[in-house]
Amino acid sequence: MLSKPVKQALSGWGQYPVESCYVYRPEMIKELQTLLSERDGSFISYGVGRSYGDTALNKGGNVIRMDRFNHFLDFNEETGMLTCESGVLLEEIIDVFLPRGFYLPVTPGTKFVTVGGAIANDVHGKNLHKDGTFSEYVQSFELLTANGEVLLCSREENADVFWATVGGIGLTGIILTATFQLIRVESAYIDVTYERARNIDEAFEKFIAHDDDYKYSVAWIDCLASGDSLGRSVLMRGDHAKREDLPASIMEPLKPANKLKATMPIHAPSFVLNHWSIAAFNELYYTVNKDADKIVEQSSFFHPLDSINDWNKLYGKKGFVQYQAVFPKNENPKAGITKMLEMLSKKKTASFLAVLKSSGPANDGLLSFPMEGYTLALDIPLKDDSLFPFLRELDELVVSHGGRVYLAKDSSLPQDTFRKMYPKWEEFLTVKRKVDPNDRFSSSMSRRLGLTD
């Protein structure tokens, strides 16, 4: 018997927008097939709500939570190939397989992401310049389409649906299972080189000179610095530490650290994150992080904010907007990013976090985000609606440099701007109409972007 939905106010991790949806929480494929055949309206899959905006929201429609599809199905110890259900968290994969000497090939800035979400948003990490996105390591996945059919998708079988689903923000169907490659590691630690850059020119010089020397590379940017210090940074670049690199005090190299976690108990008052408090934090961060080589536990390097439960409450009840843009290599990305930092500094629109990374080439995902160049990610507190005209100015800058905004973090991109940024949108719609001719899979984002009615 089909369970009744629960009407619930949902949001993404940015807490904006908040929308009323009808939420189902099935645990078997048969339930999903019954839902699609017996219930009216549109559906969108929802993992654990770590997309930032309205990617997995469906205002007034149906949302299918996939967290009960959380079983490991098969693992080949020789090849590192894992098959699991789509609701498995990256955290669970690390917990189970790191002690056995395997790690995720790509991990975003949080481990609280489902495998299905990682594919639907084609997530990337600090090795984007070297190893690409999560989809590079996906051998195949099973997709439940609108007519209830389970479709096996790979680069060889139903390849058009495979590349429409990778980064396809859940609009081709429901990802049920996935088979993908884990990588071998010798320890749960990262050998990291910390290096400061006095301004954006120096940061780019260091990226260009040494990025290829490291598997992982990222720079924290002080987005409020101005003048000769505009874009001052701390670069953090590293590789998986080998056993011989570890200090003798580490007795169990593959055991992840069991760290105490803090919890943000309530929403912080909206005045806590302002120009002055963020400037003070940036000054402290730049001063403390001097040039040095350190061995750090993997979660401290990949997922530092995961050590604080509900850290998004730091932004207050109105939430925040995360804005990540990529500037292509052949369109003078340094000029584009410098201009964006100048706009932020002039506007005194403080971003609590600003992260610069280099990006490898685009893949064949029709709506995938990366392209060869550089990306800048910003977390901007949402005080009032005056932020959105400024975001449109940022959009125009990104378009003028041939770049695009990452849909997994977007909550406000207009339809016409989206089409300029993602020129394969019509090709995407051709595949979507083939497997979902009646738009059974639709979201608040897809309607905003004109991908569904």
**pLDDT by residue (tens digit) across 235-250?**
999 999 999 999 999 9
Average pLDDT value for residue range 251-273: 70
**Does residue 350 carry a pLDDT above 70?**
no
Structural domain of 85: 72-185
CB 390 within 8 A of CB 329: no
Residue 248 domain-assigned (yes or no): yes
Return mean pLDDT, the chain: 93
Residue 385 domain-assigned (yes or no): yes
Together in a domain, 199 and 171:
no
Q: Give the pLDDT band (50/70/90) at residue 3.
A: confident
**Residues 321, 417, 434, CA angle at the centre, nearest 5°?**
100
Structurally, how many domains does the chain consist of?
Answer: 2
Cis previous bond, 17, omega within 30? yes
Give the Cβ contact number of residue 417 at 10 Å.
18
Together in a domain, 318 and 367:
yes
**Does residue 280 carry a pLDDT above 90?**
no
Together in a domain, 258 and 391:
yes
Match 């910390």 to its residue by tokens: 194
Q: Give the pLDDT band (50/70/90) at residue 180.
A: very high
Residue 46 domain-assigned (yes or no): no
**Does residue 259 carry a pLDDT above 70?**
no
Average pLDDT value for residue range 348-376: 91
- What is the C-alpha separation between 106 and 123, in angstroms, rounded? 8
**Does residue 202 carry a pLDDT above 80?**
yes
CB 354 within 8 A of CB 340: no
Percent of the chain predicted with pLDDT > 90 = 81
pLDDT at 251: 87
State which of 170, 185, 200 marks the end of a domain. Answer: 185
Average pLDDT value for residue range 378-394: 92
- What is the C-alpha separation between 23 and 15, in angstroms, rounded? 17
Together in a domain, 195 and 315:
yes
Average pLDDT value for residue range 46-54: 94
Which has the minimum average pLDDT: 110-119, 141-150, 280-289?
Answer: 280-289
Q: CA 377, 380, 385, 391 torsion: positive or negative? A: negative
Percent of the chain predicted with pLDDT > 70 = 96
Residue 104 domain-assigned (yes or no): yes
Which range, 270-274, 302-306, 424-428, is most confident? Answer: 424-428
Which has the minimum average pLDDT: 240-254, 279-293, 317-331?
Answer: 279-293
Together in a domain, 340 and 370:
yes
Q: Give the pLDDT band (50/70/90) at residue 381.
A: confident
pLDDT at 93: 98
pLDDT at 383: 84
Residue 145 domain-assigned (yes or no): yes
pLDDT at 273: 65
Cα dist from 402 to 192, 327, 359, 398, whole Å: 33, 7, 14, 6
Residue type, 421: M
**Does residue 182 carry a pLDDT above 90?**
yes
pLDDT at 4: 84
**pTM for the complete prediction?**
0.95
CB 373 within 8 A of CB 333: yes
Give one word for 251, left, alpha or beta, with left for phi > 0 and alpha for psi -120 to 50: alpha
**Does residue 349 carry a pLDDT above 80?**
no
Average pLDDT value for residue range 109-128: 97
Together in a domain, 262 and 328:
yes
Q: What CATH number does residue 129 fall under?
A: 3.30.465.10
Together in a domain, 172 and 217:
no
Together in a domain, 232 and 197:
yes
Q: What CATH number does residue 275 fall under?
A: 3.30.70.2520
- Of 409, 412, 413, 434, nearest to 422 (Cα)? 413
**How do residues 154-178 score in pLDDT, each as one tens digit?**
999 999 999 999 999 999 999 999 9
Per-state percent for the chain, helix, strand, coil, to nearest 5: 35, 25, 40
pLDDT at 283: 81
Average pLDDT value for residue range 348-367: 89
